[in-house]
Structure 1
């Protein structure tokens, strides 16, 4: 059998959730499990995250997957419903919705009695400068106050555009959020994603929304998971299926982009972009064998990669870690000019999962 595997460490997931609790002990936790739990497998992660207060997903279909396995945690649809006929389904399943545009607001009011009968909170999104979703701060106050007058229990929410770094927009976003929060008091509030949980403890408020940190990857380009006291949850592995001795001047892989400068031994590993392993990298990329970094050579193909094993004692069938606890997904992502989020989410279903 082809040895390409994805293994999920549930204890690591629980440990990372506990890290959130240490950092934000007074806030409730909405664990983000959208995009199939960031590629980790929703069903594999729900049980390990049982100690969370709620789950966050992007859409109704993802929320229904949570109910399909019998999980009754609170669930927030962070992009709200996408059509009027989704609202009664959301209400029947006790999903709380984010309202970020007028049409959704109209749908909510049409279903006011049923929504309130379930005791559901409505999350109202402030567009404080990211300019994706939400109401601008000059209009959201009137919207929230109207919802409050109708008896809705509201949560003011927003999303930082640059929580992972110091940036002038951060101050503006915080200022607008606090202005709205004050004008609409008393109101529940939530604005912290993974990076903001670390960066602004004073902004934890009522709910924090950890995502990437739960899965043991860093939300910061300049801080490792070790520094953040997180543990990688996913191990992506394959095996050596062949070895070749090549001479100086010979080429490796499609396009003959790699030419050996000296005699060397290479190994072929059973993984490729068909599995979700990234093809393009702007810096030298590595895998890990027994904790040792081993360089890729030549292009990544659909099913295979080549690595330089010159001077190493390896054999066919040798396990190779593509990313995990030794070769961090954040480092693979950096070599590919992207972020760990993308690599985790775009894994295919081809590797066997454990």
Structure 2
């Protein structure tokens, strides 16, 4: 049987959640589990994240899955609802809504008695420079005042565009605008910290923090590793060697014959490929881990297989290969692929088997 496997380490996930608690001891934690818990599998992660104060998701369908799995924590819909009918379902299920455009505010006010009766907070999003969702500074104060006058308990929220980039000028601009709006609307609850901001700006933790990628043991920063941040990788992605070959100098490997051996080599063929979600377009040399040692990937990644150079290593058919996990971090694979760890984690296919430690 093909042995491509995704294993989720529940203890590492709990460790990372506790790390958030250390960094933001006075804030409530809204653990982000959108996109199937960043590709890790919601059903495999929620038990380890059960001490979160709330969960954050992108849409109603993701929130309903949390309830179906038996979890009763508050859930925040970070994009809000997409129709008035969804607002009614959200209220029934005790989901809290972000509002970022006037139609959502109208739907909310139309059902205010039911919303307020459930003691649900409404998260009002400021567009302070991300320019995706939210109200601009010249309109959000009036929106918040209107909602307060209608009896809603409001949370002022925003999202940093460059929290992962040191000294980006927009960071200070966003901070200052958020603080000015917060002061103008007080008393009001506040939330602006994602993973990168939690790690960089403890003074901005306020009432709620929204950790995402750091929970799963990947770094939000290009220049700081998970070891630097005291985080543990949660996902181990592995496969097995299914064939062993030897080639001579001058022979090529894989589609397009782009890799040509400069010396005699021993190759291992591993049962993994882009059909499983393993990336294909490597811009730099990539590696896998075998028995704690790094071994280079050679030739193009195919849909179902890769070739690795195992010259000098003692391997056999069935030897496990770590594509990313404890020894080869997903962030390093992502850098070689010209992308970020978030993308690799989220785009895994359903073909690899899944298990939980």
TM-score (norm 2): 0.99
Inter-partner Cα distance in structure 1 for 2:190 and 2:161: 17
The equivalent residue for 2:280 is 279
Inter-partner Cα distance in structure 2 for 1:145 and 1:183: 10
Inter-partner Cα distance in structure 1 for 2:79 and 2:249: 55
- 1:143 matched to 2:152: no
Residue 313 (structure 1) shift = 1.0
Q: Give 3-state SS (helix, strand or coil) of 1:124's partner.
A: strand
Inter-partner Cα distance in structure 2 for 1:204 and 1:138: 24
Gap regions ≥5 residues in structure 2: none
The equivalent residue for 2:16 is 16
TM-superposition CA deviations, 1:87-123 (whole Å, max 9, x none): 0000000000000001111111111111001110000
TM-superposition CA deviations, 1:259-305 (whole Å, max 9, x none): 01111111100000000000011000000001111000000000000
Inter-partner Cα distance in structure 2 for 1:353 and 1:133: 35
TM-superposition CA deviations, 1:48-102 (whole Å, max 9, x none): 1011000000000000000001110000000000111100000000000000001
Inter-partner Cα distance in structure 1 for 2:225 and 2:292: 17
Q: Give 3-state SS (helix, strand or coil) of 1:210's partner.
A: coil
Residue 351 (structure 1) shift = 0.5
The residue correspondences of 1:48-197 to structure 2 (distance < 5 A) are 48-166=48-166, 167-197=168-198
- 1:220 matched to 2:225: no
Inter-partner Cα distance in structure 2 for 1:55 and 1:90: 14
Inter-partner Cα distance in structure 2 for 1:192 and 1:47: 23
TM-score (norm 1): 1.00
Inter-partner Cα distance in structure 2 for 1:15 and 1:310: 37
The equivalent residue for 2:339 is 338
Residue 134 (structure 1) shift = 0.1
Inter-partner Cα distance in structure 2 for 1:35 and 1:343: 12
| Between 105-114 and 55-64, the greater mean CA deviation after superposition | 105-114
- The two structures, once aligned, show a CA RMSD in angstroms of 0.5
Inter-partner Cα distance in structure 2 for 1:281 and 1:247: 24
Q: Give 3-state SS (helix, strand or coil) of 1:275's partner.
A: coil
Inter-partner Cα distance in structure 2 for 1:162 and 1:194: 12
Residue 320 (structure 1) shift = 0.2
Residue 164 (structure 1) shift = 0.6
The residue correspondences of 1:190-205 to structure 2 (distance < 5 A) are 190-205=191-206
User: Structure 1 segments of 4 or more deviating over 6 A?
Assistant: none
The equivalent residue for 2:304 is 303
Residue 234 (structure 1) shift = 0.2
Aligned residues: 354
The equivalent residue for 2:42 is 42
Inter-partner Cα distance in structure 1 for 2:83 and 2:145: 24
Residue 345 (structure 1) shift = 0.3
Q: Give 3-state SS (helix, strand or coil) of 1:273's partner.
A: coil
Inter-partner Cα distance in structure 1 for 2:202 and 2:294: 36
Residue 311 (structure 1) shift = 1.2
